[in-house]
Amino acid sequence: MTNQFDDTRYLLKFILASAFCFFIGTVHGVLQVISPIRAWLDSIGSPYGGPGHMIDPLAHAHINVIGGVVIFIMGASYYLIPQIAGIRIYSKKLVNHTFWWTLLGIFGFYSTLMVFGIWEGQALLANPDNDDAVQAIHRYYGPVIATVSTGMGVGFWVYFFNIFVTIKQFKPSIQSKQP
Ligand code: HEM
């Protein structure tokens, strides 16, 4: 078997992407408490509903929790399983699919929530007595958010499959070690 440390450098991108998402998430987090921005978010329904809810808390929570935390955990588990169990990850190709589907998915999810949150928010403030303007925009939101959410979901499901198949390989070795 080759040296696992040599094989693992391709996992570095998980850590870099996680740090980048935390950067976006923390800048977003600070901006959303600065009073003029906070007042604008409140005026469009944040955090309870309406366009504001898309920006705060949905976009903010997801870029931090999925972009920052989950992507880090994915990379860490792909590194740690071979280290702990001495077995190879089932598919390196699926590791890269995990990374790109989850990362492009969370960027799509975040930017969709931000674009529609701002766009619908502006329409709401420009037409406070007429919801048609907001609805005229919102009808595009459904298909777009469904598409990017599915992309993000594919990243999670590829990860689950790759981990479960890897662990399945591991079980026989546990039994052979028992007296
Ligand atoms: C400087 C950094 C951050 C600031 C200033 C900040 C600020 C905030 C604020 C003001 C809220 C409340 C929003 C509301 O009640 O409408 C919030 C909610 C939240 N934040 Fe942060 N945040 C920061 C970093 C993070 C990080 C790193 C994570 C995750 C790893 C995170 C995850 C969340 C979650 C899960 C919520 C709850 C969303 C919900 O209500 O459903 N935040 N943050």
Instruction: Look at 63-67, 101-105, 170-174 and tell me which has the smallest mean pLDDT.
Output: 170-174
> Is residue 69 included in any domain, yes or no?
yes
Q: What is the pTM of this model?
A: 0.88
Distance of CA 172 to the CA centre of its chain: 34
Q: How far is the CA of 21 from the centre of ligand 1 (A)?
A: 13
> Is residue 179 included in any domain, yes or no?
no
- Residue 172 gets which letter from DSSP? H
> Is residue 84 included in any domain, yes or no?
yes
> Is residue 175 included in any domain, yes or no?
no
Q: Is the pLDDT of residue 122 over 80?
A: yes
> Is residue 174 included in any domain, yes or no?
no
> Is residue 170 included in any domain, yes or no?
no
> Is residue 171 included in any domain, yes or no?
no
Give the pLDDT of residue 171. Answer: 73
Average pLDDT (47-76) is 97
Is the shortest distance between the CB of 47 and ligand 1 below 6 Å? yes
What is the number of domains present in the chain?
A: 1
* One-character DSSP codes across 44-109: TTTTTSHHHHIIIIIIHHHIIIIIIIIHHHHHHHHHHHHHHH----S-HHHHHHHHHHHHHHHHHH
Average pLDDT across the chain, whole number:
93
Determine the structural domain holding residue 101 and report its residue range. Answer: 11-165
> Is residue 79 included in any domain, yes or no?
yes
Ligand 1: residue of 23, 60, 72, 113 to mutate (most ligand atoms within 8 A of CB) is 60
pLDDT > 90: percent of the chain: 87
Average pLDDT (3-10) is 73
Give the confidence band of 3 by pLDDT, cuts at 50, 70, 90.
low
Give the pLDDT of residue 1. Answer: 46
Give the pLDDT of residue 169. Answer: 82
